[in-house]
Structure 1
Amino acid sequence: MKLLLHACCGPCSLEPTRFLANEGHDITIAYMNSNIHPASEYDRRLSTLRAWADRENLPIVEGPYDVRAWEGCVGTVASDTYASREDRCRACYRMRLEEAARYASEHGFDGVSTTLTVSPYQYTDIIREELKRAAGAHGIASLFEDFRPLYDEATRRSRELGMYRQNYCGCRISQAEAEAERRERKAARAAKREA
C-alpha cells in the first residue's frame, strides 16, 4: 500500500516505520503538527525527524504550520471549563489526521496511518476513531496500528541514535501541564529530603 504516515516526531517514528515497511508498505512521512508550541520546538522536532528520515531514505512532506487554525480548533475546546484533556486531544487529533487524510487523498496515496499510537500517553481508542473518520471522509484506507508495544524499543533506539527527545506532547497546554508536574515532583522531593 502507498501509505502516508502522519508522524509527530523522530523518536516516535522509528518503530512504526520499521514495522510498516516490514509489512510491505511504501511509506511517506507526513509532518503535519500545527499543535506544536513554540515554533522553535516545531522546528527542532522537524529537524530531528528529517535528519533520521534522510538517512533512512524516507520521503517527508510537511503541512503548513498554522497555529491560528490549531487555536481556532483546539483552543476553543480547551477554553471550555467543562472540557477534559480527552476532549482537547480529540480535537487536536481530528485536525491533524484530517489534514493528513486530505493530503493523502489529493496526492494518490492508498491509505493513511499515524505514529501517535506509539506513545502510552495518548488516547489510542480516540486516535483509532479519528483516523478512521478522516480516512473515510476522503475515500482512502485507514491503517490503524496500536504501536504502544513498540514504545520501549523506540525509546531505546532514539537514545542510542542521540535523537532529540521532547518532554511534553507538543501543544502549549501540554507544555504547561508538564512543567507544573515537574515542579510538583521537585517540591515533593525537596519536602522528602527536609523531612
Structure 2
Amino acid sequence: MRILLHLCCGPCTIYPLTRLRTQGHEVTGLFYNPNIHPFQEFCRRVDAVKLLGGAVDFPVAIDEEYGLNEYMRRVVFHEHERCPICYEMRLVRTVQEAVAGGFEGFTTTLLYSKYQNHRLLIARCEQLAAGHGLQFVYEDFRQGWQEGIDASIAMGLYRQPYCGCLYSEQERYDKRLKKRMKAAARIN
C-alpha cells in the first residue's frame, strides 16, 4: 500500500518507518508541524528529518513555513484543548495531502510517542479516513520506543527535549524547577 506518514520529527520516524517498510508498504513522509516553538527548534527538526530522509532513502515533503501564528490563533484561550487542536491541524493536512497525492492510506508518528493521546488520535484518524476514502493504518508504535531512541542516537539525529509547542516547553522547565525547589528544600 502507498502510505503517507505524517512526521512529527526525525527520531520519532525511525521505528514507524521501519515497521511499515517491513510490512511491504511504500512510505512517503510529510513534515507539517505548525506548533513547534521557537523557530530554532523548528529548524533543528526540519534538518533532522532531511538527514533521516537522505540516510534511509526516504522521500519526504517538508513544509518549511514556520506556522506558529496559525497554531497560536487556534490555541490561545483554548490551552486546555491544545493537543486535540494540534492533532486536528496536522492530521487534516496529512489527509488532504494523501488524497491529493493518490495515497491509499495514512498514519502518523504521533502514535510512536508515549506522551500522546492514542485514543483521541485513533478516533480522529478513523473519522478522517472514512470521510476521505482512505485507510488509516494503525499500529501501536510505542512498543518500539527504545529501539527508535537507540537508532536516532546512533544516526546522530537531533533529539528534541519536548513535544514542540510553547506550552510543552513551559511544562518541561516547570517540572525541572519544581524538582530543584524540592531538592533545595531538603538540603536546607
Task: Report SS of the residue matched to 2:19.
Answer: helix
* Contact persistence 1:73–1:95 (CA under 8 A): no
Structure 2: how far apart are the matches of 1:132 and 1:139?
A: 11
Q: Counterpart in 2 of 1:75?
A: 76
CA shift, 1:150, in A, is 0.7
| Residue matched to 1:45 | 45
Which of the numbers 78, 87, 90 marks the counterpart of 2:84?
Answer: 90
Q: Which runs of 4+ in 1 moved over 4 A?
A: none
| Paired position in structure 1 for 2:119 | 125
**What are the residue-to-residue correspondences of 1:35-184 with 2, within 5 Å?**
35-63=35-63, 64-78=65-79, 83=80, 87-184=81-178
Distance 2:77 2:30 in 1: 25
RMSD: 1.4
Structure 1 segments unaligned to the other structure (5+ residues): none
Shift of 1:133: 2.1
TM-score by length of 2: 0.93
Residue from 174, 183, 190 that aligns with 2:184: 190
- Per the normalisation by structure 1, the TM-score is 0.90
Is the CA contact (8 Å cut-off) linking 1:90 and 1:130 kept in structure 2?
no
> Any conservation in 2 of the 1:94–1:134 contact (CA below 8 Å)?
no
**Secondary structure at the residue paired with 2:128?**
helix
Alpha-carbon offset, residue 185 of structure 1: 1.6
Q: Among all aligned residue pairs of Structure 1 and Structure 2, give the percentage whose two residues are the same amino acid.
A: 34
Q: Distance in 1 between matches of 2:138 and 2:110?
A: 10
Offset of 1:3 from its aligned partner? 0.6
Verify the 8 A CA contact 1:36 1:172 in the aligned structure 2: yes
Moved more, 130-139 or 33-42: 130-139
Q: Number of paired residues?
A: 187
Gaps in structure 2 of 5+ consecutive residues: none
State the distance in 1 between where 2:53 and 2:70 align.
27
